[in-house]
Chains A and B, each alone.
Chain A
Amino acid sequence: MNILEVQHLKKYFATQKAVDDISFSIERGSIFGLLGPNGAGKTTLIRMITGIFYPDEGEITLDGRKFDPINDVVNIGYMPEERGLYKKMKIGEQAVYLARLKGLGKEESIERVKQWFIKFEMQSWWNKKIEDLSKGMGQKLQFVTTVLHQPKLIILDEPFSGLDPVNSNLIKDEIYNLARNGSTIIFSTHRMEQVEEICDHIILVNKGKKILDGSVSQVKQQFKENLFSVGLDTIPEFGTSGSFEVIGRKENTLFVKINQGYRPNDVLQYFLSQNVGINSFSELLPSLNDIFIKLVEGTPATRQFQTVTA
């Protein structure tokens, strides 16, 4: 069952179609990647899902019911990209305050903050102020405040920026943990290697429109270019083969692109007929990074302002 369904969502600002007819759905317990270049409309999309903005058109369904910005607050945890906490407030008090704004009771908030602080080894921070924290420490605190009320849907915008590898892993493990326990995570980032590692499903947004939707492996299959690497004992002198073209080599490995109408078997057959020892043969799938660049490249780096007549 889908935790979130978004249908034909539109949000037009005076000078921009920030979100222009986007639909997608997210399965419960999955980790969903929301990708897109700067200014693609991700933040606007997220703000509509968190109830900060009302969409101009379209519908959001959360957990089978129509999304209600006021009462669904407790079901959503949102960690914005630019993080914000009160600098002069004590850390413990701040976490409790944010939890209570989500609708938790006082005792319960304190209890949960304590649990999370123990989990992240932050117990000694309770009476410190935010301004005393390093950026990474602030990040951990922000993460804690986002998930404290056990939301069904957690939205993380660039959660790893500014974190060292150790703390990154700590948060990453916690994200897996939350997903395993039934929370759904929307993960928005530019860091494609993290998306490949973490996400089950992705959509790519550009200029307010969805241009890609699928699981990570589906997307890779969709954009593969029939590239293979062949590891050989020695590189033979080439005649021409109609089945493939060599597009690069590195020591004893050839990179080949199989021509239209041929199969990998034809390539192997060629080398077998050449009587060369084959050590390895594998398909080269494009990285998400390549796909991202390919799809977004050519469109202007920042969106131009346009007049919207809607």
Chain B
Amino acid sequence: MNKTVLIIQREYLSRVKKRSFLLTTILVPLVIIGFYAAIIAISISGSSDTQKVAVIDQSNLFDGKIPEDKDDKTPYTLIQNETEQSFKDKYKELGYSSFLFIPQTDITHPQGLKLHSPSAVSLSAKSKIENRVNKAIEMKRLSIAQIDPEKYKAINSDISIDNAVDSASGEKKSVAGVAYAVSFAAGLLIYMILLIYGMMVMRGVMEEKVNRIAEVIVSSVKPFQLMLGKIIGIGAVGLTQFGIWIILVIGLQFILPLIFPALFHQMAEQAANNPAMQQGGGASTLLTITEGLKNLPLAKIIFCFIFYFLGGYLLYASVFAAVGSVVSEDQQEAQQLVFPIMMPIILGFVIMTKAVNDPDSGLAVFGSLFPLTSPIVMMGRISYDVPWWQLALSMLLLILTFLSFTWLTAKIYRTGILLYGKKITWKEMWKWAMRKS
């Protein structure tokens, strides 16, 4: 066992000491910081659009004046004495990003409205403009129907519903969006881990085989020790990386308020003034996120994340190691053999994207129990309340599968690592795995 520790040490240190490890470990949090910064930047700037829209209103929908609107700060300018044809060539020079042409049209069946722009306008910009025109048309129709606009506004209802989740730990304010995001992110992370670290194990095994190091090493240690040492060593690299990231992200939570004091002040104020928050202002979005995070069972999520990371990694790493051991120099050969392994991982990811939307569907439950997909799919369900028996069963199945896979793949590895020059098929690998030792 002592020798396995030596191998783990080497595998771990030789990777952690590499420059690329330092780079990815630092770069990824930077990307996360960048993401945070982008959210903040967007929140601070609000929804101020730099679009300037000119309107030619031949139906006189707006009665010569475009009303202010709290959701739409786009500056609209009514243009008089121009036709669609004549203005089409000028609006860019006059500094407008687009112009809306409203022809003479019937108020009950308006048609022929056209938005001119040099390039396609964004969906949100288009829907804002449509919204404006719709409102104007509604007003016109109201007056035709002789309904008082004030009365109409009073009748009109616009509410948002808070979803209260009644779980054992008491009533919590649901934060579906945050739960969705956390689940999705965790599932995505596990998916990437399985692929990245699995491939890392495979490349490591291939390196040993191609450079014929394996033969030297297995004259000193058992092949299983070499395989185990590599898998554990690389897994430890992964854990180290996550450890660093978690520390950085938590550190960030504390540092951010110091960097953007104004923003958080504003947030706190808003929260005080308006406890039943609506979406809208950017700062409150951020507050919703922090609020939502507080309501999630974070300890459970982190525990499960680590468990499924380890379980999934150990399960797939042993398979990747077996594949690495049967491949001789050819990269393409490796690709072919890797593909069937990636299938369940990708399948897991697909099920996970469904599971975050519908965590209790049959597919999601199956995917989170089936050990080849459970590490990914269960993470997709984890921020919603997963029944304890399902969680326990899923973990048990994962452990059992990982143990039996390691046992089988070790037999493939032992044979493959010393075999050169021959192309190995899945059938042969199966035979090796099933052989009695």
Distance, CA A145 to CA B222, complexed state (A): 18
Contact with B along A118-148 (1 / 0, CB 8 A): 0000000000000000000000001001000
Distance, CA A83 to CA B6, complexed state (A): 21
Within the complex, the shortest CB–CB distance from B127 to chain A, in Å, comes to 55
Contact, CB under 8 Å: B212 / A83: yes
Asked if B104 CB lies within 8 Å of chain A CBs, one says: no
Contact, CB under 8 Å: A97 / B222: no
Chain B: interface secondary structure? Answer: helix
Query: What A residues does B207 contact at CB under 8 A?
Result: 86-87
Contact, CB under 8 Å: A84 / B221: no
Distance, CA A142 to CA B215, complexed state (A): 13
Contact, CB under 8 Å: B219 / A97: no
Distance, CA A196 to CA B372, complexed state (A): 59
Asked if B220 CB lies within 8 Å of chain A CBs, one says: yes
Contact, CB under 8 Å: B14 / A98: no
Tally of contact residues, B, Cβ under 8 A: 20
Distance, CA A80 to CA B212, complexed state (A): 8
Contact, CB under 8 Å: B216 / A78: yes
Query: In the complex where A47-B418, A89-B14 touch, is A84 in contact with B214 (Cβ < 8 A)?
Result: yes
Query: What B residues does A88 contact at CB under 8 A?
Result: 14
Query: What B residues does A73 contact at CB under 8 A?
Result: 219-221
Within 8 A of B (CB), among A18-39: none
Closest to B437 in A: A54
Distance, CA A52 to CA B223, complexed state (A): 9
Distance, CA A101 to CA B216, complexed state (A): 10
Contact, CB under 8 Å: B212 / A51: no
Contact, CB under 8 Å: A85 / B213: yes
Closest to B9 in A: A97
Distance, CA A70 to CA B418, complexed state (A): 18
Within 8 A of B (CB), among A170-217: none
Query: What B residues does A83 contact at CB under 8 A?
Result: 212
Q: Which of A51, A82, A85, A100 contacts B219 (CB 8 A)?
A: A51
Q: Which of A84, A97, A145 contacts B215 (CB 8 A)?
A: A84
Query: In the complex where A47-B418, A101-B3, A101-B6 touch, is A84 in contact with B211 (Cβ < 8 A)?
Result: yes
Query: What A residues does B214 contact at CB under 8 A?
Result: 84
Contact, CB under 8 Å: B6 / A97: yes
On A, residues with C-beta under 8 Å from B are 47, 50-52, 70, 73, 76, 78-80, 82-89, 97-98, 100-103, 142, 145
Supplied contacts A80-B219, A84-B214, 11 more A-B pairs, CB within 8 Å: A70-B222, A73-B220, A78-B219, A84-B216, A85-B213, A85-B216, A86-B211, A88-B14, A98-B217, A101-B217, A145-B216
